[in-house]
Amino acid sequence: MIKPVNIVLLSCLMLLSCNSKVYLFTSFHEPADKGLRLLYSRDGYHWKDLDTSFLKPMVDEKVMRDPSIVQGPDGIFHLVFTSAWHGNKGFGYAASKDLIHWSEQRLINVMKQDSTTVNVWAPELFYDDEKDEFIIIWASTVPFKFPKGIEEENNNHRMYYTTTKDFINFSDTKLFLDPGFSVIDAVIVKRAKQDYVLVLKDNTRPERDIKVAFANNPIGPYSKASAAFTDHFTEGPSVVKVKDNWLIYFDSYQKKIYDAVATKDFKTFVPATNSISVPAGHKHGTIFIVDKKVVKILLKNRQAIQKQ
């Protein structure tokens, strides 16, 4: 007799057999102390939870928020994540060949040059295939560095960046985006050569919504931010191309749902709430595409991982 748990595994593997590529969505659950979770999808709209933690946080405050993963051209998966709420100068980092076995975690202190830095939030990875390097962007508050805006000094975020080819040597930290307001949760999207979109959260109290800006280079300069295309109290955008549409997922935290919109041009946005399904508890992550064999290995090994 086949055990019920194996029937579930068999059905999941059968679902994967139709497509050679599968979408993975990084995730965490509050209070963010259990580590990296992963969702998977065949179509980019309907998601299943792999339902285990694949990496427990071991650096800084031992939390893992906002996990961002990019697979390099050599097949290595690189992970960066928020490792503390406040008082830190960096983010967490680890690497893996299979998303199961991970390197030792490290703290990358990218804001050590500013001793008054309040935080380092939501690092986001982007692989620049034209320069063969990784760009990492994140939000930090450095009190009194920018003109006084709507927000208090300890909440007046700007976006910063560094680049690396090997995650050992990093370029000097530089300002990435100053839109004239407190900004967090930014994501770089490449549509074509010299055609980039930045999806960002306006974190000011009147707004707390998501907007876009445009550039011909991944590090900018970016255009003035658009009008908001989400309601207030939304954050953590994640972007994926599915056929002719771009889907922008985000946390609608006042409604207590994970929501999405679809767009073809990042100018007109169509609600996709009724077209998606996201497991309860999912929080701010990034979406990337892998070969289906990667997910098959994750499905087969998750029970062993749970026992570790």
Q: Tens of pLDDT along 287-308?
A: 999 999 999 999 998 876 765 6
pLDDT digits (tens, 9 = 90+) for 103-136: 999 999 999 999 999 999 999 999 999 999 999 9
What pLDDT shows up at residue 17? Answer: 52
Q: What is the pLDDT of residues 29-68, one digit of tens each?
A: 999 999 999 999 999 999 999 999 999 999 999 999 999 9
According to the model, what pLDDT value does residue 293 have? 95
Q: Is the pLDDT of residue 18 over 70?
A: no
- Using CB atoms within 10 Å of the CB of residue 158, give its burial: 0 to 12 exposed, 13 to 18 middle, 19+ buried: buried
Residue 5 has pLDDT above 50, yes or no: no
For the chain, give the longest Cα–Cα distance: 69
CA distance 154 to 116: 10
- pLDDT attached to residue 302: 81
Strands (E), 133-232: 133-141, 157-164, 174-177, 183-192, 195-202, 209-215
Q: pLDDT tens-digit profile of 151-162?
A: 999 999 999 999
108 to 90, 130, 206, 245: CA distances (angstroms): 5, 24, 33, 35
pLDDT of residue 7: 44
Asked if the model's pLDDT at residue 284 lies above 90, the reply is yes
Structural contact between residues 93 and 167, judged by C-beta atoms closer than 8 angstroms: yes
Task: Kindly tell me if the per-residue pLDDT of 16 is higher than 60.
Answer: no
What mean pLDDT comes out for the span 183-189? Answer: 98
What are the respective helix, strand and coil percentages of the chain, to the nearest 5? 10, 40, 45
Provide DSSP, 10-71. Answer: HHHHHHHTT-SEEEEEEE--TT--S-BEEEEESSSSB-EE--S-SB---STTS--EEEEEEE
Residue 2 has what pLDDT? 37
- CA dist., res. 16 & res. 50, Å (int): 13
> Which whole number is the average pLDDT over 179-203?
98
What's the number of domains the chain is made of? 1
pLDDT reported for residue 115: 94
Domain that holds residue 295: 4-306
Share of the chain above pLDDT 70, in %: 92
77-97 b/e (C-beta count within 10 Å ≥ 16 → b): bbbbbbbbeeebbbbbbbbbe
Contact at 8 Å (CB) between 145 and 163?
no
Tell me the CATH number at 52: 2.115.10.20
Q: Please give the average per-residue pLDDT across 143-150, as a whole number.
A: 92
Structure tokens at 85: 């709420």
Counting beta carbons within 10 angstroms of the beta carbon of residue 258, is it exposed (0 to 12), middle (13 to 18) or buried (19 or more)? buried
Give the span between the Cα atoms of 102 and 27, in whole angstroms: 17
How far apart are the C-alpha atoms of 51 and 298, rounded to whole Å?
Answer: 11
pLDDT for the residue 20: 87
Is residue 12 scored above 70 in pLDDT?
no
Task: State the burial class of residue 132 (Cβ atoms within 10 Å of its Cβ: 0-12, 13-18, 19+).
Answer: exposed
The position carrying tokens 């989400």 is 230
pLDDT at 239: 98
Strands (DSSP E) contained in 170-244 are: 174-177, 183-192, 195-202, 209-215, 234-242
Closest by Cα among 39, 7, 26 to 66: 26
Q: Where does the pLDDT of residue 148 fall: very low under 50, low under 70, confident under 90, or very high at 90 and above? A: confident
